[in-house]
A and B are shown apart, each in its own frame.
Chain A
């Protein structure tokens, strides 16, 4: 099958006053439609850099990134970055306003998303009235509002406490599968990576290269929380842990 996004020998050098930082040395991957890929790697190895380049926030230094020109990319960060002075609905409509795509139809779509994902009663509330987990769900709906085909998630749950983290990762996973999106998620939590994804990519420390790629095959694959109980889980955890530990 033709990949939805193809990254070929991506390289990134940051230029700073103190010198050049080779952040990404060589990264190649083909993302398939509706695939959920997680990237794990030591902190500072260049994971966020890869995502920023994919959504055009940063310029690549070398390599090729190719996707169909109709493909839209949505980006979700660790901080929910909700605007405190806007209602939940207005926050979610932000992307549409920016691209001048706000009309009755797109607005109804956003409202339906909010309703579908348990935020109906908060549509006209302000972000300060919501818990961290709910805010993160709002941030996801905001990303989904412009109907992206690929979601880039940069440590989307790491600002949350452990309990809400489990719950929200379950929610987000369900939403992404439901809306049939492809996703690349950066995380430093090995369990999260295994339990959410179809494939886990392990990166070496900076400058990052792909160290190993694990297609995750679990018997009885369900939701992230359930997946943690699968018998293969420990095996994958062990392998990835060793991969990471080697370089730390």
Chain B
């Protein structure tokens, strides 16, 4: 049993946690109610700003039209593909750069430029080359996630304690042994945080791609909605996107926890 002071201390922590949760829920509910109220009393023009009720209606009709889940599924699948490919390719390329310092020096300015270039600018070229389909979308998202992964993971590799490298060298370790015994496990944390960045980057890339390609997916729903001036559809699309983004981010967070636990 804890002392009285400690019990109050624990109680206070719990109370703060509840309070935080309360305000988090309060803000979203307040916002929805205010929005509906403004719509009901014609304080806002629902034609351009929609309303919670209309969003729900749109959701229901999308659900009945039966292709809602197809759009969501496609976006998730594209994000998943570019996320995994981006991470894998990024780590592999970072590894090659680590193995070949000369190559890394040669590539350095190109990586910097590619990283600061808004990849959406390449969209039209990508579509012409890869066709107006899923390939282009994934390529676009891949481009966004892979460059940032290369840069972050390579940095992680290079930040390895030189003392540890010296130690392995004094044991006459080969370069691959240094990589597998030290560099890779040492950069585990960096790779995990690259995953978190990547999931958002991939989603950004996929939505951008869907805007451009305009065939299916949540990005397409939003684009289509804006083209036919159906703001209900646009806002519903954004709403779905929020949920999908949150779900994916928390899945990666969960994956991180799982991996970290298995490691120790």
Q: How many residues of B contact A (CB 8 A)?
A: 19
Inter-chain contact A85/B166, CB cutoff 8 Å: no
Smallest CB gap from B189: residue in A? A85
Interface residues in B119-145 (C-beta closer than 8 Å to A): none
Give the docked Cα–Cα distance between A97 and B167 (Å). Answer: 14
Inter-chain contact B171/A94, CB cutoff 8 Å: yes
Q: How far is the CB of B159 from chain A (nearest CB, A)?
A: 14
Inter-chain contact A126/B264, CB cutoff 8 Å: yes
Inter-chain contact A57/B168, CB cutoff 8 Å: no
Total number of A-B contacts with CB less than 8 angstroms? 44
Give the docked Cα–Cα distance between A75 and B164 (Å). Answer: 12
Q: How far is the CB of B177 from chain A (nearest CB, A)?
A: 6
Inter-chain contact B171/A95, CB cutoff 8 Å: yes
Contacts known (A57-B169, A98-B171, A99-B171); A81 close to B161, Cβ less than 8 A: yes
Give the docked Cα–Cα distance between A215 and B141 (Å). Answer: 70
Inter-chain contact A83/B182, CB cutoff 8 Å: yes
Interface residue A28 (Cβ < 8 Å from any Cβ of B): no
Residues of B within 8 A of A75 (CB): 167, 170
Interface residues in A85-109 (C-beta closer than 8 Å to B): 85, 94-95, 97-99
Interface residue A218 (Cβ < 8 Å from any Cβ of B): no
Residues of A within 8 A of B182 (CB): 83
Q: Among B166, B177, B181, B264, point to the contact of A77 (Cβ < 8 A).
A: B166
Q: How far is the CB of B126 from chain A (nearest CB, A)?
A: 40
Q: How many residues of A contact B (CB 8 A)?
A: 17
Residues of A within 8 A of B264 (CB): 85, 126
Q: Mark B163-190, 1 if CB is under 8 A from A, else 0.
A: 1101111111100010001100110100
Inter-chain contact B188/A77, CB cutoff 8 Å: no
Interface residue B105 (Cβ < 8 Å from any Cβ of A): no
Interface residues in A112-149 (C-beta closer than 8 Å to B): 126, 146
Inter-chain contact A57/B170, CB cutoff 8 Å: yes
Q: Among A56, A77, A85, A99, point to the contact of B167 (Cβ < 8 A).
A: A77
Interface residue A55 (Cβ < 8 Å from any Cβ of B): yes
Inter-chain contact A85/B168, CB cutoff 8 Å: no
Contacts known (A81-B163, A85-B188, A126-B264); A97 close to B170, Cβ less than 8 A: no
Residues of A within 8 A of B185 (CB): 83, 85
Inter-chain contact A98/B166, CB cutoff 8 Å: no
Q: Among B163, B167, B169, B171, point to the contact of A146 (Cβ < 8 A).
A: B171
Inter-chain contact A79/B163, CB cutoff 8 Å: yes
Inter-chain contact A81/B164, CB cutoff 8 Å: yes
Give the docked Cα–Cα distance between A99 and B170 (Å). Answer: 11
Interface residue B263 (Cβ < 8 Å from any Cβ of A): yes
Q: How far is the CB of B225 from chain A (nearest CB, A)?
A: 49
Point out which of B167, B169, B177, B186 has the most chain A C-beta atoms below 10 A from its C-beta. B167
Give the docked Cα–Cα distance between A238 and B163 (Å). Answer: 34
Inter-chain contact A83/B164, CB cutoff 8 Å: yes
Inter-chain contact B172/A81, CB cutoff 8 Å: no
Residues of B within 8 A of A83 (CB): 164, 181-182, 185-186
Residues of A within 8 A of B186 (CB): 83, 85
Q: How far is the CB of A223 from chain B (nearest CB, A)?
A: 28
Residues of A within 8 A of B167 (CB): 75, 77, 81
19 A-B pairs in the complex with CB atoms less than 8 angstroms apart: A55-B170, A56-B170, A56-B172, A57-B170, A74-B170, A79-B161, A79-B163, A81-B161, A81-B166, A85-B185, A85-B188, A85-B264, A94-B171, A95-B171, A98-B173, A98-B177, A98-B181, A99-B171, A126-B264
